[in-house]
Every structure is written in structure tokens, then in C-alpha cells.
Amino acid sequence: MRLVKSFGINRFSTFIHHVSVLLLLYNIYLTLKLLKANSSIKTDCIKENSNTSFFHLTLSTGRWDSRRMVKTYDNVILADQKQSGMVCLATQCSVDRLTSIVELANNWNGPISTAIYVAGEELYYIQGRCFIFLCYNYLNINSHYILDYIRFLRRCYQSVRQTVTFHLALPANKFPQSSQSGFETDQLSCHQDPSVVLSNLMKQLPESLRRWKIRMPYPQNHLRNLARLNCQTHYSLVTDIDIIPSINSAVLLNNFLSERPKCLKCVYVLPTYEVHKSAIPPKNVTELTKLKSAGLARYFHMEVFKLNQMPTNFVMYVKYMLLIVFNLSIYFFYKFL
């Protein structure tokens, strides 16, 4: 019995030894594979435009408002293309809403002037720098550091890089302590969802700053004026960043305005709809009408404040666009839950 038991123990020990060797080899294989993957990612990033000098900001300059509550900075990040055409889209947002600029730029297809409200440490993420104890992305197996969001958008989206000029507004009571910090990198893959990238970035902000942002009012008029006054075209169209234009709106508006005689007392009304976030964005008025019939689209602020949209004759607009303009329409939509 003892010999049989000893023999069984020896076989078990041999089995454990073989398993350990296999696990060691497998770990070596995984390590080499990860190193190769990391190397290929770096190579891809090197091929892309790093935009290392596109950010222009000196905190000691800028322009205070009349009450010295908000300091603004013009043309901090310039679009690669000069503003052309007759109309520029002026929009504004806080950092946590910036992801909408991707869809907006793709659809608008023209110059965009964007004002961003930045508080405290948020500036470091926009500028492409951040503290070492805030920047490490523990969820990424390739150990990338969190990139600044605008650099990521410009590198990965041609429409943003070519057409969007950014301006900044900083609150006096939450001014950044320094404009310098630890890391600067361009290694994040362009295949990542921009909304996920922004969400991960915002999670790195200090809890105290997030609480402050909830309490403090948002200087909407400051930002609207900052964006509008930096439009270089004859007309400017002022919207919020989550109001998305229909496809190729800038070109259609340029054609429309160039064909109209000069009229100092004319007002052109652009209709705005709310489209359910689960619906595919409509490409024309026909698709928009179908979404409305299915309950997936409605007039803007229909449930919030109906009287606010009274100047827009939606019925006349749809009838005119469907019957006369052959479905080449200009409209805006907002995604609701």
C-alpha cells in the first residue's frame, strides 16, 4: 500500500511540474504578444499628426468681463482651414458636453466657433497635460495615460481639426493653480468611442471640483458671445453644442443666403426637433416626418415649454420642404431620452 501511495504522489508531483512549466510558457507568450501589440499602437500613433504645438494659451493674458467674474481667451485652438462662406456656427459647452462636437462638425460641414467653460484642473486635460497621480489609466492594459480631449478629437476626426476653432472661458473663483504639469502623450487609439474617452477623463477630476461644478451657475451668455464674436463670416448661427444640424447644413445655408437679396428686416427661422437617442438621425425631412409619426421625434421643447417655439411654424415648414424644395432641407435636432 505504501508503494502504491508513493507512486501516486510522484505522478501527481510530475503533473504539477508540467502544469507549472506550461503556465510559465503561456505567460511568456502573453508578455511577448502584449509587447508586440503595444509596439504596433505606438507605431500607428507616430504616423498620425501629433499636433504638438496647436495649443496657444497664456493665463496672464485674456480678457475679463465687466465684473471680473469670467476670463475669456480667444482662438486658443485654431481650425486648420480658414473660415469661409457666409455663415459660421457659434456654439458653447462645458467640458463634459464636448463629445457632441464630433457629430456636429460632421453634419455642419463648415466653420464652427466653439467656446468652452473650463474650471480648475479641467484645463490640464484640455491642454494635454495632467498630474501623474491623476493621469494613469488603470483600465487600459497597455498602460496609456489619459490624453487631453481636444487633442484626441483633432487627431482622430478630420472635420474637427479642419473646421472647429476653440475659445476658453475660466471662472475667477476657480482659476487653475498652474499651467504646467506632468505628462503629454498622443497614444490613445482613434478607434475608441469619444464619449467613453470623455467619460473616463471626467472621472479623474477631483471630487471637490465636481461638487463645485454642480453648485456654480453656468455663464451661458458669456460663452455664446465669446463664440459668436469670434465668427469671421457675415452671418453667425448661435446654438448649444447638443443641438445637431442636419447633414451639410452649412453648404445649404450658403447657397440659400447667396441667392437671397439683401434684407435688413428679414428673419430666417430654422426649425428644431427633438429626436429619440435610439433613433437613427434623419437625413431629410421625409425621414424626420416618419420619426415624428412613430413617436421618435417631436417639436423642440414641446414637453418643456411649448410657447417657446411659437415663432416656428412647423406645419408650414414640413409642407414647404416636402412639396417645393424637393426634400433638400435644413433643420436641427436634439437627442432626448
DSSP label of 80: S
The pTM for the full model equals: 0.72
pLDDT digits (tens, 9 = 90+) for 52-89: 456 677 777 889 988 999 999 999 889 999 888 899 99
Distance CA 286, CA 273 (A): 14
pLDDT digits (tens, 9 = 90+) for 16-29: 666 566 666 655 55
Q: What is the pLDDT of residue 21?
A: 62
Distance CA 246, CA 239 (A): 13
Residue 99's Cβ-count burial label (10 Å; 0-12, 13-18, 19+) is buried
Distance CA 199, CA 92 (A): 19
Contact 122, 97 (CB under 8 A): no
Contact 71, 62 (CB under 8 A): yes
Q: Indicate if the pLDDT at residue 147 is higher than 70.
A: no
Cell numbers 450658403: residue: 254
21 Cβ contact partners less than 8 Å away, ≥ 6 residues apart:
none
Burial of 32-49, coded b for 16+ CB within 10 Å and e otherwise, reads eeeeeeeeeeeeebeeee
What are the residue ranges of helices labelled H in 2-83?
A: 2-47
323 Cβ contact partners less than 8 Å away, ≥ 6 residues apart:
none
Distance CA 275, CA 243 (A): 10
Q: What is the pLDDT of residue 133?
A: 29
Distance CA 276, CA 291 (A): 9
17-21, 30-34, 129-133, 289-293: the lowest-pLDDT one: 129-133
Can you tell me whether residue 257 is helix, strand or coil?
helix
Mean pLDDT score, 258-263: 83
Distance CA 67, CA 229 (A): 19
**Higher pLDDT, residue 119 or 124:** 119
Residue 337: HSE in the Cβ half-sphere, 13 Å Cα cutoff: 0
